[in-house]
Chains A and B, each alone.
Chain A
């Protein structure tokens, strides 16, 4: 319990930090760029020597059906985060459907390895605390490149803490949570194998990743329909669009 209240204090202080930093997607606030770039090249090296080979080995060692099962399992494991954030964003019906989805996959789908919910038309949703803060009108704040964890923003960093609260692994012993997280990371990386080519097509990989990450998060906040950016040809400063009310 004291662990939780400590977390809450961290959440609140970070919230304050995130809330004062509004900036439009088109011109992100990146005051830490020099540090971020160092982190970025560290992460790229780490990926090249550790994460990518691990993902390739994982793909080679396990049959596809089993990998799909594991991927489903990890998705289902963190699904309470989606349910809670549906509700926090006022999407009560979606929260109910996602609860059904979670229960169905956990019970009938053998702990989440199978995905019967999708077969009966309960589609998977993607919600987290970072998105909820965005819906509530909290600005994204600074762009951050976290060591090991990759791109983030003040807002999404706060969101990570929130998501840890709703992650069942937080409440297990480290003997269970660390290996599980480890496999989960390898699974995430394996999903991205073969997409690296796009990075080579860029003038500046760091800026491309920043741009793509911020666009992707913005799109998630608006559930796939972000407002068309106001065109800015240098006449005036555009401001971040206000999130939808529902």
Chain B
């Protein structure tokens, strides 16, 4: 019996060794990032609430690296991507990122402790480079919300390039909205609009005074 256990242990160790160079699995990436952020929020909640700049930085460091920003910018610009200059592409990417952080960071501060996430088992074929990690967001007294994270392998790291909420893709719905705006006012004006905050979204939760 002990012998069998030892053999199993050895085999497991070998398997771990073999996978040392393999990327961290996509579902693990998201789950770790989520619990990391929740822990940070639990420990420093009041600090973040008082210091918006600090919290923006934390989100930038803890969340943003898991997103494939260039890919997202390209998907959101869609057919306007080709006509954009390299400078416009970078500016759009940054402005869009900041817009989203502004929109969702306050909600994060407000709801981080009341939501629980149930992760669905990931079915991923070997050598896959594109997967969707499915989860169920549960809030007390409300219907659970199905959220999917579309991820692809970028330089041996799994990164998010789209989030689907109840089968509505964020990338697609922003592409449609920016597409209409660009059609009306042109790409340059649209980018300037996002940069200046004139074109943007209200934070879901209004942050109080401090």
Chain A interface residues (CB < 8 Å from chain B): 25-26, 191, 194, 197-198, 200-204, 207-208, 210-212, 215-216, 219, 224, 226, 229, 231-235
B172 in contact (CB, < 8 A): yes
| Contact in complex: B204, A210 (CB < 8 Å) | no
> Could you give, for residues 138-170 of chain B, a 1 whenever the CB lies within 8 Å of some chain A CB and a 0 otherwise?
000011000000000000000000000111110
| Contact in complex: B167, A215 (CB < 8 Å) | yes
Closest to B165 in A: A198
| Contact in complex: A201, B176 (CB < 8 Å) | no
| Contact in complex: A224, B177 (CB < 8 Å) | no
Contact partners of B202 in chain A: CB under 8 A: 200-201
Partner of A215, one of B75, B79, B168: B168
| Contact in complex: B180, A204 (CB < 8 Å) | yes
Given that A200-B201, A229-B172 are known contacts, is A234 also in contact with B180, CB under 8 Å in the complex?
no
- Complex formed: what's the CA distance from A201 to B165 in Å? 14
Partner of A201, one of B166, B169, B199, B201: B201
Contact partners of A204 in chain B: CB under 8 A: 177, 180-181
B116 in contact (CB, < 8 A): no
Q: Please report the total number of B residues contacting A with Cβ < 8 Å.
A: 31
- Complex formed: what's the CA distance from A191 to B83 in Å? 43
Contact partners of A212 in chain B: CB under 8 A: 168, 173
Closest to A205 in B: B177
Contact partners of A229 in chain B: CB under 8 A: 172
| Contact in complex: A202, B167 (CB < 8 Å) | no
Closest 7 pairs (CB-CB, A-B) = A234-B79, A219-B167, A211-B176, A211-B173, A234-B82, A212-B168, A203-B177
| Contact in complex: A203, B143 (CB < 8 Å) | no
- Complex formed: what's the CA distance from A26 to B79 in Å? 11
| Contact in complex: A232, B79 (CB < 8 Å) | yes
| Contact in complex: B83, A207 (CB < 8 Å) | no
